[in-house]
Amino acid sequence: MPQTPTRPPNAGLLALLLGLGAALPVASLPNPATLYQRSLQADDLYSYRGRQITTYWRTGRAVAVIVSHRAPTLRRIDYLAPDAQRGRCVAEDGAQEWQYDPRHRQLLHRRLAPNAEAVADAAERYDLLRANYVLQVLPQSRTWADRKVFLVTITRRSDRTTARRLWIDAATGLVLKRENYREGGKLALTVAYSDVSFHAPLPRAQFTLSALAKRPGVKTVEEKPSGEIPVSLGAVANQFGGAARAPARLAGYRLVSAALTHERKTLHLRYSDGLTLVSLFEQRRTQLRRPTRVPPTMRPTRVGRRDGYVARHSALTALNWDAGPLNLTLMGEVAESALRGLAVEADR
């Protein structure tokens, strides 16, 4: 069991992280397509436990967690830092998920919807990725967290700036470190394992928190299932009596999957550029005479020529606006200006 830090990660920790990587002599390099394929399969094949640190470079803040994964679907995240989140835990056994918040002694439980994503089409996704980005395996073998890794850079074709750098474990394909860059090539965040073990004991009982529900003082909250119903791409335009908007493309993004959620009242369209997912949520308006209400602290803004709202959560940006009989929400981890451009396209 790794030692748990008692204070939030600081500059020393970040320096340690940066110091973990070291270049080794050149070795034979796999091609990017092979590495991509292997990284997609890593979680299905390998069980591991490691300490992972996410650093948000703009604010210098960091979140440290222990990730436990038992192949193929059991997963658990234990928060170590910052102090305000220490003790939080998210566990998933493939069919159910628990989130425990020790501050409020609250256990949130929900049944997971079946995976509606067509992730099986890896070759198609890889083509999409290559259409928007250039992948390159750097001609140097390296180590990260005491393991041999290949460093893959993913560069945007549009402006030739770096979008991602991935340190992929040579033996398993697991991504041990990743750097996400903003448009313009500025480093936004780093997600990195400081240590990882593929031999840690991972008993099944770790991946369920149902025992906590019986503890005195713990409040269990059952979340209503979203009731997600996959919609084939060909049938998207027929939803809401034909009123749904279903552009097949938004700039470099392509519609990759769709589902009806929230008792069939929300249509969730997922657009991908091969690397980043953008969601377009469509809901039928029930009050056409007045604007749809949003959480009160969303900021008013303009979406093209329409009035709308903008909000941010973590690295996500969300835009919401009324468009005739529909209310649309577009969100993704992309710059607000880029998201606005996509919103205007979605509204055409």
Residues 134-163 that bind another protein (CB under 8 A): none
Token pair 């192949």 in the structure block, residue: 71
Burial bucket for residue 29 (CB in 10 Å: 0-12, 13-18, 19+): middle
Which of 77, 213, 229, 243: binder of another protein (CB under 8 A)? 77
Taking CB under 8 A as the criterion, the residue among 18, 24, 122, 235 binding another protein is 122
In the complex, the smallest distance separating the C-beta of residue 25 from another protein, rounded to whole angstroms, is 28
Binding marks (x or -) toward another protein, 98..117, rule CB under 8 A? -xx-xx-x-------x-x-x
CB of 348 to another protein, least distance (A): 21
Q: Per rule CB under 8 A, is residue 172 in the interface with another protein?
A: no
Q: How far apart are CA 219 and CA 181, in angstroms?
A: 40
Closer to another protein by Cβ: residue 147 or 164: 164
For residue 14, give Cα distances in angstroms to 51, 153, 295: 14, 21, 36
- Does residue 283 touch another protein according to CB under 8 A? yes
Pick the piece of the chain touching another protein (CB under 8 A) from 12-20, 136-144, 241-249, 279-287. Answer: 279-287
**One residue of 38, 43, 153, 196 binding another protein per CB under 8 A:** 43
Size of the site for another protein (CB under 8 A): 104
By CB under 8 A, name the one of 23, 26, 119, 235 that touches another protein. Answer: 119
3-state DSSP assignment of residue 64 = strand
Question: Is the CB of 36 or the CB of 150 nearer to another protein?
Answer: 36
For the CB of residue 337, give the shortest distance to another protein in the complex, in Å: 5
Does position 254 interact with another protein (CB under 8 A)? The reply is no
DSSP secondary structure code for residue 242 in this structure = G
Spell out the residues 6+ positions from residue 144 whose beta carbon is closer than 8 angstroms to its own: 20, 21, 167, 169, 176, 177, 192, 193
Q: Which of residues 8-27 bind another protein (CB under 8 A)?
A: none
Q: 170 vs 35, 43, 137, 152, 292, CA distance in Å?
A: 9, 14, 12, 12, 51
Contact residue for another protein among 141, 143, 197, 279 (CB under 8 A): 279
Site for another protein in 311-340 (CB under 8 A): 311-318, 320, 327, 329, 331-338
Name which of 20 and 275 has its Cβ closer to another protein: 275
Q: One-letter amino acid identity for 170? A: A
Cα 250 to Cα 248: distance, rounded to the nearest angstrom: 7
Omega within 30 of 0 (cis) for the link into 25: no
Task: Find the distance separating the first CA and the last CA of the chain, reported in whole Å.
Answer: 54
